[in-house]
Structures are given as C-alpha cells and as structure tokens.
C-alpha cells in the first residue's frame, strides 16, 4: 500500500510538471447580467469581495479576464486593470481569438494600459491566455453541438505570434503564455503545435455537464480527476492551470447532476479543497454570474456579499480516492472518457457571453444560446480520444514502476 501511494505520488508529480505560484481567483467578464458594461466600481467591488470572503481557504486575489477591452469602447483598456492596481489583484489576461482575423484592438488596449499604468499594472500580470475554447468549438463534438465559431491551431499560432511581437520589449514580454480550452482539445494530436507554443495550458472542467457519465455530485471528484489526468498525460511537463471549474448552486438538473447549494459546497470541498486550492493555479467559476440566459447560477455568493452561500472552510478528509494518476490508469480499462464540454456552456454562455462580446467579435455571444443544449451530447464522442491518453498514462505509471 505504501509503495502504491508513493508510486502514485511520483506519477502525479511527473504528470503535472513544474508549476508556478498556485494562484487563487475567479473569472470576470466585461459585462453584468443585464449585458451592461462593468466599470471600475464594479470590478473594485468584485475584487474586494474576493479578497475578503469569509472562511476562504486562501486569499482569492487573482482574476481571469476574457478581454483587454473596456465594454462600450473600441480599444480602451478594460477598467478592471485600474481596479486591480488599486486592490493589488493579480491578472490573468485573455484575448478573444475566434471569428476574427485580427487581435489588433486587444493589443491596442493592452499597449494603452502599459503606457497608462506602467509597472503598477504589469507587475500584477501573471499570465496571458490567447483564446478560449476555440479548439473545442471546431472539434467534432463542438461542430455537432453547434457550439459556435471557433479557431484552428494555425489561427491560434498566428495570434500567439502577433501577441509576442506586440509585447516584445515591454514589461509583459516575460509573462507566461497559455491558451484555455476543454480537456479533449489537448489530447487531440492535431492541436499539438498549439500546446508546444504554450508555457502553460488552461483547462475548463465541469463534471456537472457530463451527461451519460454518471455525473451525480458524488462522482464529481472522479470525473474531474480523469479529465485532469488525461490532460496531464498529453501535455507532458507544461503546467496546468484550471481556468474554470465550479458547480451551480441553483438551476435545472442535468442528467444525474443537481444544482443545489449543498452540491456546490460538496464540489468546492471535493474538487477545490482536495485537488486545486494552493496546489494548482485555479480560477473558480464563479464569484458572480454574468449570463442571464444560463439558468444555472454558479455564483458562490449573493450580490457580492463577503458571506458566501455556504461555508468555504476546507475539510481534512475527502470522498474521492487519492493517487489520481494511478486511479486513472486502472480505471481506464473499463471506463470511457470524461469531457469538460460544460465549460462551453458555462464558459461560453456564462463567461464568454459576459465578457468577450465587447471585444473584437460577436462570436462569443452567438454561441451562447446553442451551448446549453449542445453540452448534453458533448461527451459522446470522446471515448476514443481518451484511450490514447490513457495508454500514455499507463505507460507513465509503468515507467515509474521501472524506477523501483
């Protein structure tokens, strides 16, 4: 047993690679639930609440943004930057890359921010994500689900290059570059060139939306771990950042998944506390809901109160078995894959809708309506993808075995 545990631990370390500081934050779109723009006061309130949440298992002093552009403007810097400077909130930047052949407005807004705020801004920037779920939307599943306009590896590579040129010689030149997508985008060999171009990979994971996979809340830990481990096996030593995850506190049932406060709390503990907080850079979904079209409400607090819907304290014991890499390997024989297409529903509907629409294209908004239904069938075709990854996982474990 002890040997087994050690083995699993070693495999886990190898699989997850070196990781940076384990940031804690939430996602924040550029608009509110009524589609009106967020301004500095709105971001200030969000960031202050995040940092002062009662019984939080750490300080939530980071934020993931989806665009550099202030809503209602062409290329003015988003006012979240100024609010972040005032509250010392760390920033994971994002650039919207689907349905456009230019990210010039995004880059202009960023340049203006660098000029205007200088070091007080650039010192807070912890990463840049070029794109969000673009590869999912053009995958077989995404197309079948009419997930909306996406972008292929070539487009992403071009925008990564555009971004690099744009920040060369600035204080952001050293900021690590990532991309955010669903897990199966990373296990798809066609997308390898994108992974190779990144410093870290951002993964959106929502076990809630895993229809047909036994997505009861009690299974959420297992579902989460399988998808996470599949990515880890596929991306080698690139650090993984969990850019979106969460469980709705209210809304309709989704197959076996029920949206309740009790389940949102369980998920916080079983995925957040057990697997992510202070272990992996994590951007929880979410502090505040921003998409009125999504019946699932993910906010962990009401009206930005610092008193959350449930006690955020982390327990010391968990239901999900530990030694996840080993469990992936052993589970794979019998089980098919797990996808995180829910990310597109919530990411797309919740975050994309609430964020990117002000940016370079209307694509984000277009995809909202369809996403909801899409997700139901989302995981059907993913079994094939995992088997290869699983084999890699098994090989990894076997390789570790050889060390003993």
Ligand X SMILES: *[C@@H]1O[C@H](CO)[C@@H](O)[C@H](O)[C@H]1NC(C)=O
Which positions lie near ligand X, rule CB under 6 A? 135, 138-140, 152-153, 188, 190-191
Establish whether 133 is a catalytic residue. Answer: yes
For residue 342, the minimal CB distance to ligand X (Å) is: 17
- The single residue of 46, 82, 133, 205 carrying the catalytic annotation is 133
Specify the residue, 76 or 377, whose C-beta has the smaller distance to ligand X: 377
Cα angle: 136, vertex 140, 143; to 5 degrees: 75
114, 81 in Cβ contact below 8 A?
no
Establish whether 54 is a catalytic residue. Answer: no
Specify the residue, 135 or 167, whose C-beta has the smaller distance to ligand X: 135
Count of beta carbons in the 10 Å neighbourhood of residue 130: 31
For residue 137, the minimal CB distance to ligand X (Å) is: 9
For residue 195, the minimal CB distance to ligand X (Å) is: 11
- The single residue of 205, 210, 244, 270 carrying the catalytic annotation is 244
For residue 179, the minimal CB distance to ligand X (Å) is: 12
Q: Is the peptide bond before 18 cis (omega within 30 degrees of 0)?
A: no
Helix 324-332 to helix 220-235 angle (10° resolution) is 90
Count of beta carbons in the 10 Å neighbourhood of residue 193: 12
Specify the residue, 107 or 180, whose C-beta has the smaller distance to ligand X: 180
Question: Which residue's CB atom is positioned nearest to ligand X?
Answer: 139
Closest CA to 234 of 40, 23, 395: 395
For residue 333, the minimal CB distance to ligand X (Å) is: 22
For residue 145, the minimal CB distance to ligand X (Å) is: 11
Specify the residue, 27 or 191, whose C-beta has the smaller distance to ligand X: 191
For residue 142, the minimal CB distance to ligand X (Å) is: 7
Specify the residue, 139 or 297, whose C-beta has the smaller distance to ligand X: 139
* Alpha-carbon span 197 to 192, nearest angstrom: 9
Specify the residue, 45 or 381, whose C-beta has the smaller distance to ligand X: 381
Specify the residue, 17 or 152, whose C-beta has the smaller distance to ligand X: 152
Catalytic residues: 133, 244
């Amino acid at each position: 047993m002890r040997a087994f545990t050690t083995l699993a631990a070693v495999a886990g370390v190898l699989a997850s690679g070196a990781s940076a500081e384990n940031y804690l934050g939430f996602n924040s779109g550029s608009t509110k639930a009524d589609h009106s723009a967020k301004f500095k006061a709105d971001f200030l309130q969000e960031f202050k609440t995040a940092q002062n949440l009662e019984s939080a298992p750490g300080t939530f002093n980071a934020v993931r943004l989806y665009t550099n552009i202030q809503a209602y403007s062409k290329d003015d810097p988003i006012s979240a930057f100024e609010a972040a400077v005032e509250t010392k909130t760390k920033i994971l930047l994002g650039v919207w890359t689907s349905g456009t052949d230019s990210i010039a407005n995004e880059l202009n807004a960023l340049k203006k921010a660098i000029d205007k705020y200088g070091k007080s801004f650039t010192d807070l920037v912890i990463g840049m994500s070029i794109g969000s779920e673009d590869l999912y939307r053009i995958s077989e599943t995404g197309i079948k689900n009419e997930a909306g306009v996406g972008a292929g590896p070539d487009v992403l590579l071009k925008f990564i290059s555009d971004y690099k040129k744009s920040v060369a010689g600035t204080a952001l030149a050293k900021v690590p570059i990532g991309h955010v997508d669903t897990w199966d985008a990373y296990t798809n060999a066609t997308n390898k060139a994108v992974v190779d171009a990144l410093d870290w990979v951002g993964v959106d994971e929502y076990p809630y939306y895993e229809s047909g996979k036994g997505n009861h809340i009690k299974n959420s830990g297992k579902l989460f771990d399988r998808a996470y481990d599949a990515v880890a096996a596929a991306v080698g030593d690139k650090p993984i950042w969990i850019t979106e995850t969460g469980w709705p506190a209210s809304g309709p049932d989704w197959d076996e998944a029920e949206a309740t406060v009790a389940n949102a709390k369980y998920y916080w503990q079983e995925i957040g506390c057990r697997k992510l907080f202070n272990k992996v850079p994590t951007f929880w979904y979410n502090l505040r809901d921003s998409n009125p079209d999504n019946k699932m409400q993910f906010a962990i607090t009401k009206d930005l109160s610092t008193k959350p819907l449930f006690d955020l304290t982390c327990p010391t014991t968990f239901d999900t078995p530990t030694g996840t890499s080993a469990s992936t390997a052993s589970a794979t024989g019998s089980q098919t894959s797990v996808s995180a297409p829910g990310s597109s529903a919530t990411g797309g509907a919740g975050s994309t809708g609430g964020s990117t629409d002000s940016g370079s294209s209307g694509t984000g908004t277009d995809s909202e309506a369809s996403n909801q239904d899409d997700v139901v069938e989302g995981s059907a075709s993913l079994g094939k993808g995992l088997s290869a990854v699983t084999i890699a996982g098994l090989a990894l474990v076997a390789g570790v075995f050889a060390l003993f």
